[in-house]
Amino acid sequence: MSMTITEKILAKASGRRKVDPGENVWLDVDVLMTHDVCGPPTIGIWKREFGKDAKIWNKDKLVIFPDHYIFTKNPQANRNVEILREFAKEFNVQNYYDVGTERYKGVCHIALAEEGYNIPGTVLFGTDSHTCTSGAFGMFSTGVGNTDAAFILGTGKIWEKIPQSLKFTFEGKLPAYLTAKDLILKVLGEITTDGGTYCALEFDGDAVFDLSMDERMTLTNMAIEAGAMNGIIAADAVTEAYVKRRTNKSYEIYNSDADASYKSKFVIDASKLEPSVAKPHSPDNYDSVRNVKGTKLTKSYIGSCTGGKLSDFISAAKILLGQKVKIPTFIVPASTSVAQQLDEETISGITLKQIFENAGCAIAQSSCAACLGGPMDTTGRAVDGETIISTTNRNFPGRMGSKKSAVYLASPLTVAASAINGVITDPRDFL
């Protein structure tokens, strides 16, 4: 009867005592999340299939965050938000966080955590490939297409194939010059962009449980970069404290059995790793910062659901305190709550916001912004000929805007150090 954490959660959601990898089962969905890019087509399919009398299966379980194409004059992008707004009004969707109001939150995956929708032991689906981020809370979460999302919207159910699991145990202590981004880039370098196809990536080990929730979300966020269905970290006291501050919903904690079976297991000594990058144009194009240092840059970018959390800005600020950046450097808080904390958190008595401003960084409004390029007027968007270092999660050709730009992915420490020198720089030079 031994099972992994992912198998246990999916067994419960499908009403079974035991599930095995490869089995297709029907799940009861706890939360469906959508945003301004995939929400409108999902609503379209739902209306087509369910007709005039279309009903949302459970309004409390639907959450909508406009976040992708927000601060733009692009008419199609604005029309999408308009569709969400009308839908929320017509169907009285309470969990709609409209842009231009005090309720606006920013990037969906971080807002889900902050607003108390991430609950250990539950099942969350979203119309976004990085929905796997929520797995940091000891829950099952994954992305689906618009047809599947429309089906969930009408029924609250969806089928899923039970994934095999890959286990990554990070032993030892993470040195001060590394962050969770260095760990996940290492994983991607090892298993490549299809090494996790249709699998669950389970993260374990002392170095993982030492991490804050922000940092844990960096690990699970990039599970999809390996083709994985979900990333997952069992809930512990750190998780419980985070969740209890945000919701009084009950939760259930699951752990993998010691003799659960895995497709493969990796044990990595975190204390021996080096600051890492993913070179252009793929997140699995791993290298150490040491090997690429000195590469000339035109821009640096700290933002997105994977690299724009409070912990990312604390890391960056440690390096940027009292320094000046040599290249345009964008600070894009993932959420409005993170933006507010930039004003409150201090290092040596100076707020993070002040540190960034003194260093010459540009601070943008919370949203996905240039993480996925976006409309031409998006802050920080890549233009032809640029070489960018970024804390985001994808560096496929054209992902941040121009197809003729090159993007290095790295930790906020490495990005901040590189911004000061204008060339790729090892953060140890500043710590």
**Residues in touch with another protein (CB under 8 A):** 22-26, 49-50, 129, 143-148, 151, 154-155, 157, 159, 161, 194, 197-198, 227, 229
Binding at 269: pick from ligand SF4, another protein, none (beta carbon under 5-8 Å per type): none
Helix, strand or coil, per DSSP, at residue 284 = coil
| φ, ψ for residue 138, nearest 5 deg | 65, 35
C-alpha to C-alpha distance for 183 and 132, rounded to whole angstroms:
17
88 lines the binding site for ligand SF4 (CB under 6 A): no
Whole-number minimum distance, CB 201 to ligand SF4, in Å? Answer: 17
Closer to ligand SF4 by CB, 305 or 355: give it: 305
372 lines the binding site for ligand SF4 (CB under 6 A): yes
C-alpha to C-alpha distance for 180 and 185, rounded to whole angstroms:
9
304 lines the binding site for ligand SF4 (CB under 6 A): yes
400 lines the binding site for ligand SF4 (CB under 6 A): no
Binding at 110: pick from ligand SF4, another protein, none (beta carbon under 5-8 Å per type): none
Whole-number minimum distance, CB 308 to ligand SF4, in Å? Answer: 7
Contacts of 259 by beta carbon, 8 Å cutoff, 6+ apart: 2
Do β-strands 387-390 and 199-204 pair in parallel, antiparallel, or remain unpaired? Answer: unpaired
Binding at 159: pick from another protein, ligand SF4, none (beta carbon under 5-8 Å per type): another protein
Whole-number minimum distance, CB 379 to another protein, in Å? Answer: 26
The residues in 62-81 that bind ligand SF4, with binding defined as CB under 6 A, are: 68
C-alpha to C-alpha distance for 16 and 30, rounded to whole angstroms:
17
Q: Tokens representing 112? A: 């889900």
Q: Give the number of residues in contact with ligand SF4, rule: CB under 6 A.
A: 11
The residues in 314-353 that bind ligand SF4, with binding defined as CB under 6 A, are: none
C-alpha to C-alpha distance for 245 and 222, rounded to whole angstroms:
26
33 lines the binding site for ligand SF4 (CB under 6 A): no
Whole-number minimum distance, CB 139 to ligand SF4, in Å? Answer: 18
Whole-number minimum distance, CB 157 to another protein, in Å? Answer: 7
- Dihedral sign (CA 391, 392, 393, 398): negative
CB-hemisphere CA count at 13 Å for 358? 12
| φ, ψ for residue 199, nearest 5 deg | -115, 165
128 lines the binding site for ligand SF4 (CB under 6 A): yes
Placement of tokens 């938000």 in the chain: 81
Contacts of 365 by beta carbon, 8 Å cutoff, 6+ apart: 70, 71, 332, 339, 379
154 C-beta neighbours (distance < 10 Å), count: 17
Query: Applying CB under 6 A, which part among 255-263, 282-290, 291-299, 364-372 lies near ligand SF4?
Result: 364-372
Binding at 107: pick from ligand SF4, another protein, none (beta carbon under 5-8 Å per type): ligand SF4
Binding at 372: pick from another protein, ligand SF4, none (beta carbon under 5-8 Å per type): ligand SF4
Q: Are 124 and 30 in contact (CB under 8 A)?
A: yes
Q: Helices 412-421 & 310-320, crossing angle to 10 degrees?
A: 30
* Sequential DSSP letters for 227-247: T-SEEE----HHHHHHHHTT-
Closer to another protein by CB, 144 or 207: give it: 144
The DSSP output letter for 96 is: B
Placement of tokens 């992008």 in the chain: 77
Q: Are 315 and 299 in contact (CB under 8 A)?
A: no
Q: Which residues pair with 142 in a beta bridge?
A: 125
Select the residue interacting with ligand SF4 from 130, 181, 293, 353 (CB under 6 A): 130
368 lines the binding site for ligand SF4 (CB under 6 A): yes
Query: Applying CB under 6 A, which part among 77-85, 173-181, 223-231, 365-373 lies near ligand SF4?
Result: 365-373
Whole-number minimum distance, CB 131 to ligand SF4, in Å? Answer: 9
Contacts of 47 by beta carbon, 8 Å cutoff, 6+ apart: 54
Whole-number minimum distance, CB 384 to another protein, in Å? Answer: 20
144 lines the binding site for ligand SF4 (CB under 6 A): no
Closer to ligand SF4 by CB, 107 or 219: give it: 107
Whole-number minimum distance, CB 296 to ligand SF4, in Å? Answer: 25
Closer to ligand SF4 by CB, 43 or 368: give it: 368
Interface ranges with ligand SF4 (CB under 6 A): 68, 107, 109, 128, 130, 304-305, 368, 371-372, 393
